[in-house]
Structure 1
Amino acid sequence: MTRVVRFHEYGGPEVLRIEELPVAQPGPDEVRIRVRAIGLNRAESMFRRGQYLEPAEFPSRLGYEAAGHVEAVGDAVRDFRVGDAVSLVPPASIARWGTYAEQAVVPAAMLVRHPDNLDLHQAAGVWMQYLTAWGALLPVANLAAGDHVLITAASSSVGLAAIQIANHVGAIPIAVTRGEDKVSKLLAAGAAQVIVSDQEELVARVAQITAGQGVRVVFDPIGGPGIAQLAEATRRGGIIIEYGALSSEPSPFPLFTVLGKSLTLRGYLLHEVVNDAELFAAGKAFVSHGLEDGSLSPVIARTFAFEDIVDAHRYLEAGEQFGKIIVTLEDRP
């Protein structure tokens, strides 16, 4: 038997339960890993509440990211062996391959031997943040040296990854945060400028930073009515990439601003990268090289024990973290 986190109805963090289930065997193209660390994502909170793209079938597992050691391999798997240290790129289903467990069966195609300079806690939170930011900023937006990029929710793991990637290619990252408490941390993390949205007028501040031109790229996971401001802050011919829906309010389309500036408003999901073999290989190579040379370095906000998964989700939903939340697992006696 193995311990697995499941939920039997939609709701708040309190619906999560740790339950004992039989150890699953991997299919031909799957691998079972002994999970040592799990990276938490806002998508898992939304899934638990019934607000995500994929519906749950109860009782449901959940979880996109993990790192650990290979424990068993399917008959068709050739690239991994028992004992290998691996980390997981988020697979297609948050439930089918849910990683909130002591042991998890996952598709072998989504496993990576991460660079040796990462421990398993760091590796558990790598792939969602860096591949999401890489796919949006480089293949989609063609971010280049000298470009200004506006990054909202900048203290999230994906926001911090975007700052690091922007710096890696010589672009100019402008971070947006709600309060003053994270300004110094964002500057230390590589932001060229920080806009405090609760105290500053975003459009005017962007104009000041960019000498009136506006940013060429916006990278936003929030949506909602703020899209209108983001469009105003974008330069002619620029692109706004929406990769999330954190706002609970409607997202009106800023038609006249988009028309007047010839803007592109682009929805984006990580699966665009994962489902394209060439993009996937390029993204993994970019991230791996960046992790090896230190230009990319995951920031861990806080770690929780597996037994404290409810508290970890409460902390996730509070939205005050700076970086990635990691849940750790130890072998039971």
Structure 2
Amino acid sequence: MSKVARFHQTGGPEVLQLDELELDTPKADEVLIKINAIGLNRAEVMFRSGQYLETPSLPARLGYEASGIIEQLGANVSHFNIGDKVNVIPAFSMNEYGTYAEKAVIPVQAIVRQPDSLSDQEAAAIWMQYLTAWGALIDIGQLSAGQTLLVPAASSSVGLAAIQIANQVGATPIAITRTAAKKAVLLEQGAKHVIVRESQQIAEQVQLITGGKGADMVFDPVAGPSLGELADVCGQFATIFVYGALSPEPTAFPLFAALEKGLTFRGYTLFEFTRDAERLQQGVEFIQKGLSAGHLKPVIAKTFSLNEIVAAHQYMESNQQLGKIIVTT
């Protein structure tokens, strides 16, 4: 038996409950993992509330990330062994698999060996954030030295990952945050500049920082009305990646900025490459090198136990965190 966090109806954090379920036996190309730590993601909050890319099949599991130890191997699994320490990466549907559990069956294409230098909690905090940022900024966007990257919602784990990756390739990350409370820590985490929405004009600050050139790239999880403002501060032929929908308001297309500047708008999720073995391996290698060199360092905001899963989701929805929320088993 295993404790598994599930929801039997969509809604707020309170719909999450721990169910005692009989363990599944891994089928071909699957492994059973004893979970040590789980990384929480905004996508799971949206899935739980019924506002995600796919509709949950109730009662639904959830969870994209974890660190753990392999306990059983399904057929066809030859490059992992029982006892291996591994990490789960987002490369599956939560209607089929989920990591919010003491033990979970996971498809083998969604696991990688845990980096030796990381604790279980750190290892549960790396793959969603760094792969999401790598896929857009490096694999697709080809962000390079001398370019300027604008990062809204910069205190999220993915926002911090984008800042670190920009620094790794020699670009200039500009963080955008709602209040001044997180400005100092964003600078400590590598942002070259921080724009505070409540007291500063984004357009004015980007003009000053870039010498009137505008941003080369935007990495936006918010969308909504602010997309037009972001388009206005872009330079010629800039790319805007939209990888989330945190704003509850409609997103109007900034037509005139797009036409005038030749902007590229790119809807994006990491799933477009995590199921492509070759591209995924490139991302994993980039991240492993960054971790080894010290360019990439996961930031853990707060840790909860699995019994506190409701409180963990409540904390995520409070938007107080800087970095990754971790749940231990």
Q: Which residue of 1 aligns with 2:107?
A: 107
TM-score w.r.t. the length of structure 1 is 0.98
Task: Summarize the alignment of residues 215-230 of structure 1 with structure 2, pairs less than 5 Å apart.
Answer: 215-230=215-230
Q: Which residue of 2 aligns with 1:10?
A: 10
Q: Which residue of 2 aligns with 1:248?
A: 248
Q: Are 2:92 and 2:110, in contact at CA under 8 Å, matched by a contact in 1?
A: no
TM-fit CA distance, 1:15: 0.3
Distance 1:100 1:276 in 2: 25
TM-fit CA distance, 1:94: 1.8
Q: Which residue of 2 aligns with 1:312?
A: 312
Q: Are 1:38 and 1:326, in contact at CA under 8 Å, matched by a contact in 2?
A: yes
Distance 1:273 1:132 in 2: 10
TM-fit CA distance, 1:125: 1.3
The one-character-per-residue Cα deviations of 1:33-89 (angstroms, maximum 9, x if unpaired) are 000100000000000010001111111111111111001011110111111100011
Task: Summarize the alignment of residues 51-200 of structure 1 with structure 2, pairs less than 5 Å apart.
Answer: 51-200=51-200
What is the letter of the counterpart of residue 143 of structure 2? L
Distance 2:37 2:304 in 1: 10
What is the letter of the counterpart of residue 62 of structure 2? L
The one-character-per-residue Cα deviations of 1:150-171 (angstroms, maximum 9, x if unpaired) are 0011000000000000000000
The one-character-per-residue Cα deviations of 1:268-302 (angstroms, maximum 9, x if unpaired) are 11011213232111100000111112111100000
Q: SS of 2:19's equivalent?
A: strand
What is the letter of the counterpart of residue 251 of structure 1? T
- For structure 2, the 5+ residue unaligned runs are none
Q: SS of 1:26's equivalent?
A: coil
Q: Are 1:6 and 1:18, in contact at CA under 8 Å, matched by a contact in 2?
A: yes
Identity across the alignment (%): 53
- For structure 1, the 5+ residue unaligned runs are none
Q: How many residues align?
A: 329
Q: Are 1:63 and 1:95, in contact at CA under 8 Å, matched by a contact in 2?
A: no
Distance 1:250 1:314 in 2: 25
Distance 1:11 1:54 in 2: 15
Q: Are 1:152 and 1:175, in contact at CA under 8 Å, matched by a contact in 2?
A: yes
TM-fit CA distance, 1:198: 1.3
RMSD: 0.7
The one-character-per-residue Cα deviations of 1:174-209 (angstroms, maximum 9, x if unpaired) are 000001110110000000000001111111110010
What is the letter of the counterpart of residue 37 of structure 2? A
Distance 1:192 1:66 in 2: 31
Q: Are 1:163 and 1:191, in contact at CA under 8 Å, matched by a contact in 2?
A: yes
Distance 1:40 1:323 in 2: 10
Q: State yes or no: 1:268 paired with 2:268.
A: yes
Q: Are 2:6 and 2:16, in contact at CA under 8 Å, matched by a contact in 1?
A: yes
Q: Are 2:176 and 2:197, in contact at CA under 8 Å, matched by a contact in 1?
A: yes
Distance 1:95 1:123 in 2: 24
Q: Are 1:38 and 1:65, in contact at CA under 8 Å, matched by a contact in 2?
A: yes
Distance 2:287 2:311 in 1: 30
Distance 2:262 2:278 in 1: 30
Mean Cα deviation higher: 271-280 or 201-210: 271-280
TM-fit CA distance, 1:139: 1.6
Q: Are 2:68 and 2:87, in contact at CA under 8 Å, matched by a contact in 1?
A: yes
Which 4+ stretches in 1 moved above 2 angstroms? 275-278
Q: Which residue of 1 aligns with 2:50?
A: 50
What is the letter of the counterpart of residue 283 of structure 2? G
Mean Cα deviation higher: 286-295 or 144-153: 286-295
Distance 2:96 2:275 in 1: 17
